[in-house]
Amino acid sequence: MNPTNYLYLSAILFSIGAVGVVVRKNAIVVFMCIELMLNAANLAFVTFAKINGNLEGQVMAFFTMVVAACEVVVGLAIIVTIFRSRRSASVDDASLLSR
């Protein structure tokens, strides 16, 4: 089976994640959509590893996973902090920078 199919899947998942980031209001759900985008990128890396015949794509995917984990940790901590002071987890409520 052509590994390119995995690439198509990766593109579609990435797009869905992008829509989710823009459309959803709950900060945690937005975060989850970002995770979806990262996963899609990982899939693409691994597929390319297979296509090219060396493991460098997998190494990249490995690093991406580690970084994503760190990012999730810090990001959720921030969300919790904001939630504590504002009592709201909605992304729209943090709009003090508007005109």
Partner 1 sequence: MTGEAALFWVLAPLAVLAAVAMLYMKKAVHSAILLAWVMITLAIFYIALEAPFLGIVQIVVYTGAVMMLFLFILMLVGVDSSDSLVEKIRGLRSVAIFTVLAFSLTLIAFIARAELGRPSVGLEEANREGNVQGLAQYLFSDYVWAFEVISALLITAALGAMVLAHSEKSEVARTSQRARSIARFRGKSIATAAGLPGSGVYARHNALDLPALLPDGKPSDLSIAEVLHRRGDVAESKSYELEGLPKIDDQGNK
Partner 2 sequence: MTSENLIYLVALPLFSSALLMLLGRRADRWGHVFATLISASTFVIGAMEFFAMIDRPEASRAVTQKLFTWISVGTFNVDAGLVLDQLSIAFVLLITGVGTLIHIYSIAYMSHDRDRRRFFAYLNFFIAAMLLLVLGDSYLNLYVGWEGVGLASYLLIGFWNQQPEYATAAKKAFVANRAGDFGLSVAVMIAFANFGAVSFVGIEEKVDGASQTALTAMGLMLLLAAAGKSAQFPLQAWLGDAMAGPTPVSALIHAATMVTAGVYLITRSNFIFDNAPTAQLAVVMVGIITLLFGAVIGMAKDDIKKALAASTMSQIGYMIMASGFGPAGYAFAIMHLLTHGFFKAGLFLGAGSVMHGMNDEVNMRRYGGLARFMPITSITFGLGYLAIIGVPPFAGFYSKDKIIETAFNTGGLQGVLFGSAALLGAVITAFYMTRLMLMTFFGNKRWVSGAEPHESPFLMWAPMAVLALGSAASGYLLYSGKAIVKWLAPVVDRDHHEHAEFLPAIVVTTLAVVAVIIGVAVAFIKYRGELSESAPSDVSIFTRVTRRDLLQDDANEFLFMRPGQKLTQVLVKTDESVIDGAVRAVGSSVLGSARGMRKLQTGYVRNYALLILIGALVALLAALVVTI
Is position 86 an interface residue for partner 1 (rule: CB under 8 A)? no
Binding residues vs partner 2 (CB under 8 A): 18, 21-23, 25, 91-92, 94-99
Residue 64 interacts with which of partner 1, partner 2, none, CB < 5 to 8 Å by class: none
Residue numbers 40-79 binding partner 1 by CB under 8 A: 42-43, 46-47, 49-56, 58-59, 61-63, 65-74, 76-79
Residue 34 in contact with residue 91, Cβ under 8 Å? no
Pick the binder of partner 1 from 36, 86, 97, 99 (CB under 8 A): 36
**Residue 2 CB coordination number (10 Å):** 8
Q: In 3D, which of 28, 22, 63, 21 has the Cα closest to residue 42?
A: 63
Question: Rounded CA gap, 72 and 41, in Å?
Answer: 16
Amino acid letter, residue 45: F
Question: Rounded CA gap, 8 and 23, in Å?
Answer: 23
> Which residues make up the interface to partner 1 (CB under 8 A)?
1-9, 11-20, 22-26, 28-29, 31-33, 35-36, 39, 42-43, 46-47, 49-56, 58-59, 61-63, 65-74, 76-81, 83-84, 89-90, 92
